Amino acid sequence: MNRTVQIYDTTLRDGTQAENFNLSVTDKIRISHKLDDLCVDYIEGGWPGSNPLAVEYFKAMQSETLKHTKLAAFGATRMFSNPVEKDKSTQALLDAKTPVITIFGKTWDIHVHDALRIELEDNLLIIEETLAYLKPHVEELFYDAEHFFDGFKKNPEYALTTLGKAIDGGADCLILCDTNGGMLPHEVQPIIERVQSFIRERKSNVELGIHAHNDSETAVANSLLALSLGVKQVQGTINGYGERCGNANLTSVIPALGLKMNYECGAVNNISKLYETAMLVDELANLPHNKYQPYVGRSAFAHKGGIHVSAVKRNPLCYEHIKPEEVGNIRRILISDQAGKSNVIHKAKKFGIELDSKSPVAASIVAELKELENQGFQYEGAEASFELLMRRAMGNHTNYFSLKGFRAINSKRKMDEPPETEATIRVEVGGDEVHTAAMGDGPVNALDRALRKALTRFYPALEEIELVDYKVRVLSGQHGTGAKVRVLIESKDQYEQWGTVGVSLNIIEASWQALVDSINYKLMRDEKRHAAQK
């Protein structure tokens, strides 16, 4: 039996349908590269025929390079009233210029009658025609059989006929969708086996996929069961985000496949990157991470005293089903000062920092990290700030400038005009004190401009920095407007993109911390780059 399966990630499309889950185009591009690093096989980037954001993303991705992952555009069968070559939604899929297109169509007869308001035969026509039209333009063509399981239970003959039309249209893979998320595993198996028989009867070599929603808390179970039956593609989202109760959680599916079921895929081979991928998606979506999530939750391998701790110290297998390092997570002994050291050593190696696990510096970094995390700092989406923290602790970080003071003033002179913001700062560079001021679109922008104005005479390369994203997270609602906030800033230059973080009760102070880290990181990287060129 071929043990190779395909991972199809739809976080950027299905995931964004979740309540309170929003991503900018910059966020989507960054997540795409992270999924590519994880070696996910396919990324569904969105529905270009449905909104301008998806169009902008696909246009931007045409100048990006993915090493492993194939990008897929998602769309529907053509409108029955339009010829396929004149259907705007269909043409938008071609304009996305992706190697893969995924088309969904109706397989449940009540959807054909009530949603599309056409006859059953008409639906069969648009399925085949849409796929046949797109087939010559792509490397791979997938067909999402929407509501397939519910449709099969109601009218199995018609549901199978729709699959036949997708095969006739040239689909390379038929994805069976539990769109309402109500199926239980014992219902899934016989339906998949019937579909497999149907495909054999047609003497087709088309592959099968599974797309499960989680409304009955069975999306992961249904997906794993389908794969065990020979289904080759599994669709899902990072951290299980999706409409209503979400989709099959790939951060649970991938380790189950690789560590428990002995399946092979690119993501299994790179599974140690799973934790950081899960955390990055949450950070960019500006949502709190579910600490109790299997495999990638911070509590997934946490032990809190008693017989569990003593047993785990002797043999972790006593209370852990896998080694946390396999998925990039860490074991946390909540009563131990050693919790987190392995993560610090791992990050040091990544940053090219020589750090012995037995060094007192490692222990001091762990202690500082724990204290900062207690204050609200999180570094999964701000690795530049974490690298600076480590280098300061090691004593090998250059002090490029020091702040003497800053002030930001907002004034609204007319109610029908936007406020005016002015920032002034005093910084010292190499013994010289500089006092500058700048106007901006809000206090953070004004501070950014004032700081660069002060420093570019000493460091001209700072003009290259572009601030590409800015996020604010309220850390606790207990104190209302007096709650702490965490600010995440994303910056880039001609070489790379990096994230920095700041935390304070004052949003301007938190923003300042993140801005300063961003500039320090830029100067540090330039210094190392110039040294390497000599």
Joined together, the tokens standing for residue 308 give: 């569990």
Run of H or E residues at 77 = none
Q: What is the pLDDT of residue 467?
A: 86
- List, in order, residues 6 or more apart from 114 with CB less than 8 Å away: none
The rounded distance, in Å, linking the Cα atoms of 320 and 254 is 18
pLDDT tens for each residue of the chain, 534 residues long: 678 999 999 999 999 999 999 999 999 999 999 999 999 999 999 999 788 999 999 999 999 999 999 999 999 999 999 899 999 999 999 999 999 999 999 999 999 999 899 999 999 999 999 999 999 999 999 999 999 999 999 999 999 999 999 999 999 999 999 999 999 999 999 999 999 999 999 999 999 999 999 999 999 999 999 999 999 999 999 999 999 999 999 999 999 999 999 999 999 999 999 999 999 999 899 888 898 999 999 889 887 655 665 677 677 888 899 999 999 998 876 544 445 676 677 778 888 888 888 888 888 888 888 888 888 888 877 889 999 999 999 888 888 999 898 998 988 888 888 888 999 999 999 888 999 999 988 888 899 999 999 999 999 999 999 888 889 988 865 555 557 899 999 998 888 889 999 999 999 999 999 999 999 999 999 998 888 877
Asked whether the CA dihedral 434, 437, 443, 449 is positive or negative, the reply is: negative
- List, in order, residues 6 or more apart from 218 with CB less than 8 Å away: 181, 183, 184, 185, 212
HSE-up (13 A, CA, CB side) for residue 121: 0
The rounded distance, in Å, linking the Cα atoms of 524 and 285 is 28
Kindly report, as residue ranges, where domains of CATH 3.20.20.70 are found in the chain.
6-284
Q: What is the pLDDT of residue 341?
A: 72
Beta strands in 10-162 (DSSP E): 42-46, 70-76, 100-106, 140-146
- List, in order, residues 6 or more apart from 180 with CB less than 8 Å away: 147, 150, 213, 215
Cα 53 to chain centroid, rounded: 16
Q: What is the CA radius of gyration of the chain?
A: 26
Q: What is the pLDDT of residue 417?
A: 82
Q: What are the φ and ψ backbone dihedral angles of 49, each rounded to 5 degrees? A: -85, 0
* Contact of 32 with 59, CB cutoff 8 Å: no
Kindly report, as residue ranges, where domains of CATH 3.30.160.270 are found in the chain.
402-533
Q: What is the CATH number of domain 6-284?
A: 3.20.20.70
Run of H or E residues at 367 = helix 360-375
Q: Model-level pTM? A: 0.75
Q: What is the pLDDT of residue 337?
A: 44
User: Helices H, strands E: what count in the chain?
Assistant: 18, 16
* Contact of 459 with 444, CB cutoff 8 Å: no
Q: What is the CATH number of domain 402-533?
A: 3.30.160.270
Q: What are the φ and ψ backbone dihedral angles of 333, each rounded to 5 degrees? A: -95, 105
Beta strands in 126-172 (DSSP E): 140-146
The rounded distance, in Å, linking the Cα atoms of 435 and 433 is 7
